[in-house]
Amino acid sequence: MRVLMSGDVGVSYGQAYVESGLRWQELGECFGGQRNGLCGAAMPGSLFLITGLHTGDVGFTIEAHETEPSVGDEWEEVVEASFLPAGPVMLVAWAGERSWPLDLESVSYRVRYCGRGLDEDSWPDLDEEPRVVEHYLLQFWPAPPEPDRIVRESSANATYWHRFASEQPAPPSPEEQAEAERLDRIERARAAEEQRLRSEALSWGGRAPSDRLRAIDGSARSLSTLDRDLVDAVERLDGDTQRLVARWVIRRAFVEARLDEVDWVVDALAAVDRGEPLTPWFADRRDGWERVLGDERVPVTTVPSIIGPPNDMLQQAMAFPAIFSELEPDPLAAALDALWNGAAAFGHGRYGELFAEVRRAFPGLVG
């Protein structure tokens, strides 16, 4: 026999615990399906220990035995249950204000909880010196699991708690627990998917995108936050009309940014209008950017950003990427890229003018 701890233990609300990594949630769950109401072992890895004293100190001894010990005649209340540690084991006073580690192996134990003095005053007399009137013994020995039982019952307090235990519903079987966990996983996955779809719809202007729009993403998603109806209308057009929309918007954005005032840009726009390959200055994006930003003939104007601060954006830099939509093999992606960059060229507060113009130019976008 080994004494694992011996001394006074402070209790509150008539409770102390043995825990090993898994904490219970409700008092009733700890006694569900049990006969005894003093040592709750229904929650795996924990024991809920009831005392008669509401608040104060009780004497407590914990022993480990190799085989089942005899029951001493001095104990008025004796109950037994089974216990399997789920980690390091410790005795914990109520609210966790103090704990005592218990040197127990991770094997199946039979637990005997003995007590005496449970019918002494549950509330301490504050006018008297505190004295220990209740004593408890908790014994462990290796044994396979079996139902709990009441070995000895003497006090009204014990009778009350045994009746309480008998009224608690039995815990779910392993099969029922597994099924509940499976259903919970399904529900959590469903809720997560609903949240994902809501978040996606919000980022696409309030509606979930089609698979085609989702594959394009980028400018399609960004444009949707400005005018989702326009994005859907462009998607409904045939490919040839989508390409015409892209070319129309390229020219309109360049005119808005006054890039059409530069001769080599004029040549590029003419090639776009004819559906011909871009001139070398635009076929290579890097060369195009270097020329448009380095040519002193290119106007310099600013517009408010359509995505927030900084508000003053170089209008020519906002419009210029629209021409690269001509290189996009997917006509829908080309139209949406051009519209996004065109909106940036018009700037915050005015991009609606561009959208109104393109709807007038292409009646298929209305309705």
pLDDT of residue 112: 97
pLDDT of residue 340: 97
- Looking at the DSSP assignment, which residues form a beta bridge with residue 274? none
- Beta-carbon neighbour count of residue 219 at 10 Å? 22
96-149 per-position pLDDT tens digit: 678 899 999 999 999 999 999 988 755 555 555 656 788 999 999 999 999 999
39 contact partners, CB below 8 Å, separation of at least 6: 47, 48, 49, 50, 79, 80, 81, 111, 113, 148
Query: Which regions in the chain score pLDDT beneath 50?
Result: 24
Q: What is the dihedral of CA 188, 191, 192, 194, to 10 degrees?
A: 160
pLDDT of residue 8: 81
pTM above 0.75, yes or no: no
Q: Which residues of 223-259 are buried (b: 16+ CB within 10 A; e: fewer)?
A: bbebbbebbbbbbebeeebbbbbbbbbbbbbbebbbb
pLDDT of residue 286: 82
CA distance 275 to 158: 93
24-55 per-position pLDDT tens digit: 457 788 899 999 999 999 988 999 999 988 88
Query: Chain centroid to CA 355: how far?
Result: 39
Positive or negative CA dihedral for 170, 173, 174, 178? negative
CA distance 107 to 245: 75
